[in-house]
Amino acid sequence: MAIQSAKGTYDILPKDISKWHYLEDIIKKTCQLYNYKEIRTPMFESTELFIRGVGEATDIVSKEMYTFLDKGDRSITLRPEGTAGVVRSYVEHKLYSEPNQITKLYYMGPMFRYERMQRGRTRQFYQFGVEALGCEDPSVDAEIIALSVRIFKSLGLKEVKVAINTLGDKESRLNYREALIKHFKPIEKELCKDCQRRIEQNPLRVLDCKIDKTHPAMETAPKMADYLNDYSKLFFEKVLSYLGDLKIDYELDQNLVRGLDYYNHTVYEVMSNAEGFGAQSALGGGGRYNGLVEEVGGPDIPGVGFAFGMDRLLLALEAENIEIPIQDDIDVFIVSMSEKTYNYAFFLQEALRNNHVKCEKDYFNRKVKAQFKQADKLNATFTIIIGEDELNNGRISLKNMKTQIQEEVNLENVVNEIIKRLEVKDE
């Protein structure tokens, strides 16, 4: 029996990779526009990083991490999300050393969670995220939301909405936490086992429960807005004001808490409303995480960021029937007619590639008709036909596969002639 890919993983085949390159290119260009620099961190980290950074009470840490002991008996975890690793790197390399500077970073790569699989939810998935560290100004919160919205617009997505909330500062959140415990404790036994555990560990996560979301206690639960101190209220009002200035539409969602413990102040999600996208409508989201840098061993430095599932973005494009522009053609296919011309085709192919011409040739000594079929299959713009008599006379045939016009060209000029014709095609 043939070995297959591990459950929860999948191969990205050559026929699909151009879609990923297109998405990655838009992400990179948008991040450059906002002056975010790429960072690449390891795919596995010390397990302690995620326990401290993500939160022991989260589903990610308690249920979903791929954790193992290495040969040095160290507990290692495949990264389930990107922020903790980026913050660890920020602290380790003292990227905070310059005062009054904001550090803007972005990343892309695979993440790993042992999840119940469904459409758009796999155990190895690809994530893109940005982190802005070193500044507590609410304009930075608005900027990262604007950055994510710009990516969606650049991709052509229309059926998306931004949901936003505030969790307040540490004081506000602690007061709200106590109110939630007091509210949910009397009906604790009516809730799922996870929520029974969360009531003491992180009661905000009860509000995010998919199982108990229809329980009457969710409707009557205290609202964060009633427990915000003046600073938290003003901070959130400024974030919303900046979004208004940018004409970014949003919906206030007072039950939005996000799934990670490190969030405070602004939290937001972007959902797809596209028909057929499925029950799991969230494309991603993020928020502010003042305190996380200190939690992983650094100084008290504020941060804000977001992350989006790249797999899910591609599904959203599919749901909205957005065609990704893919160029999968070649410039030239070389047709050879004999062993002598076959050998010359090999040399000519490299000469063309040295001049940035994308080309292919026959590798199987097929008949001329079969070689032309291959040229059509590869969507070649031109074919070069090399016959033995023509080669001896220093001439070859050049055929435009779109117009079907064929002409003879001097052998020594063929590279320049090809380049000239390709330049005309691109104008």
Cβ-count burial of 168 within 10 angstroms (0-12 exposed, 13-18 middle, 19+ buried)? buried
- Do residues 320 and 326 touch, judged by C-beta distance below 8 A? no
| Cβ–Cβ < 8 Å for 308, 283 | yes
Burial class (CB in 10 A: 0-12, 13-18, 19+), 180: buried
Tens of pLDDT, residue by residue over 189-234, are 888 888 888 887 778 878 877 788 888 888 888 888 899 999 999 9
Question: Cα angle at 316 between 310 and 318, to 5 degrees?
Answer: 110
pTM over 0.75: yes
> Does 275 have pLDDT greater than 80?
no
Q: Which two tokens stand for residue 10?
A: 């999948």
Q: Which residue has the tokens 């001097």?
A: 410
**pLDDT of 124-171, one tens digit each?**
999 999 999 999 999 999 999 999 999 999 999 988 889 999 999 989
Range picked from 73-82, 162-171, 184-193, 320-329 for highest mean pLDDT? 73-82
Domain annotation for the chain: domains and CATH numbers: 14-169+229-319 (3.30.930.10), 330-426 (3.40.50.800)
How many whole angstroms separate alpha carbon 88 and alpha carbon 293? 8
| Amino acid 333: pLDDT | 97
Mean pLDDT for all residues in the chain: 90
Check whether 410 has a pLDDT greater than 70: yes
Q: pLDDT value at position 278?
A: 57
The tokens describing 286, both together, are 């993020």
SS3 160: strand
